[in-house]
Amino acid sequence: MTLLYKLARTAAAVTMALIAGTASAQAVSNAEPIKIGFTSATKTLLGSQMLKGAQYAMTQLNAAGGVLGRKVELVVYDTALNPAEGSNVAQRLVTENKVKFVAGEVSSTVAFAMIPTFKRAGVLYMAGIPKHPDVTTKGYDRLFRLNSTTEMDARALKPVLIARFPGKKVALFNENTDFGLDGRKHLKAIFNEPGQIVFDETYDISQSDFNAVVTNMRRSKADVLCITGTNPEHYGNVIRMAAEIGFKPSICLMPGILYPGALKITGPAAEGAVSADIYVPSLDNPVNKAFVEGYKKAHGDEPDKSVAIGYESITLLAAAMTAAKTVEDPGKVAEVLKAGTWQTPRGGVRFAQDGQANGAYALLTVRDGRIAVSK
């Protein structure tokens, strides 16, 4: 039985408490709290959900006695999916807030903008949702990523797409960001028969009017619409609008972007959509069952993958600080993170030497308006 799992069973932690040998909640020290920076696009669905997961983790940790007897405090900034704002936030976290640990973020492009500042300051940075493979190829030993990469995603989904859509005409619609363009590259490699791709456009992350795009999609007479995008608000509206004008192709979404909140936007137009992901709330392991039960009790709904990643980012940092017996040495905490297997809601997580977390995939299909795990 692992350290994390034993603590997940304590009375104070409906989910993972993660703190070995800490005092009771009443005995938390009056010392300064441990400040962990947390960046997110808080006005987006994914960003707000990830922040809720991180805040839930903080609440659970503090209820169980904090980390090494000190409370945890999140220093939250909204990066608004804007690289310039991300760079500014990174500077503020380092110079004004004096943090040594940062977690979160939605956009790969924003993460790229923040990493140089964190590297210069020696900050341990645990990226949450950014998926571009190059996020963890910066040669910095205090850089981590919890989400899967687009490359990992393409390997997982490729056999499914080839088997399900042989010879079908495909429309590609991808976000014009590092993440979206990398997804587009992988989709073009999968649908590589001559003339198979009949529509191929990108959209800006600030775009809100998709009427002309959807009309052109319909004219392409594509059988399948494949999308890579950060915000469910974007792709959800495109799928819904397409159905409203009578364009109802099969839908494929690059792994990691199919969220329950998106189905509230698409309505029945997403029925049958296929994707995959590294976390779903139905995963059958003790830590996840405790996490889902506790989160539902606190928030009234099931956690999605963005909630789980926000939660993991804070609980894993806390567990590694506890194991390293320091909240002041990011280098030592980074070494501890890479040395162990950490039990989280998605199962056992290990970090490669470049900081990338492993991930097993579940194949997902939208069925009766819900995200279902396919066998």
SS3 90: helix
Token readout for 137 is: 């190829």
Specify which residues 125 forms β-bridges with.
Answer: 102, 143
Residues 107 and 195 in one domain: no
Nearest CA to 313 among 153, 25, 105? 105
Residues 161 and 113 in one domain: no
Residues 179 and 237 in one domain: yes
User: What is the span of the domain harbouring residue 254?
Assistant: 151-277
Show the low-confidence residues of the chain (pLDDT under 50): 1-27
Token readout for 149 is: 């990469």
Confidence (pLDDT) at 31: 83
What is the Cβ-side half-sphere exposure of residue 244, based on CA atoms within 13 angstroms?
Answer: 13
Token readout for 212 is: 């002309």
**Does any domain span residue 375?**
no
Confidence (pLDDT) at 61: 97
The edge-to-edge listing of strands for the beta sheet with 250-253 is 197-203, 170-175, 224-228, 250-253, 274-277, 362-367, 370-373
Residues 124 and 78 in one domain: yes
Confidence (pLDDT) at 137: 87
Non-local CB neighbours of 186 within 8 Å, separated by 6+ positions: 150, 151, 153, 154, 254
Confidence (pLDDT) at 29: 54
Say which residue the tokens 């959509």 belong to: 273
Residues 195 and 291 in one domain: no
H/E segment holding residue 3: helix 3-8
Confidence (pLDDT) at 138: 81
Confidence (pLDDT) at 105: 96
Residues 87 and 199 in one domain: no
**Does any domain span residue 36?**
yes
**Does any domain span residue 118?**
yes
Residues 73 and 169 in one domain: no
pTM of the prediction?
Answer: 0.84
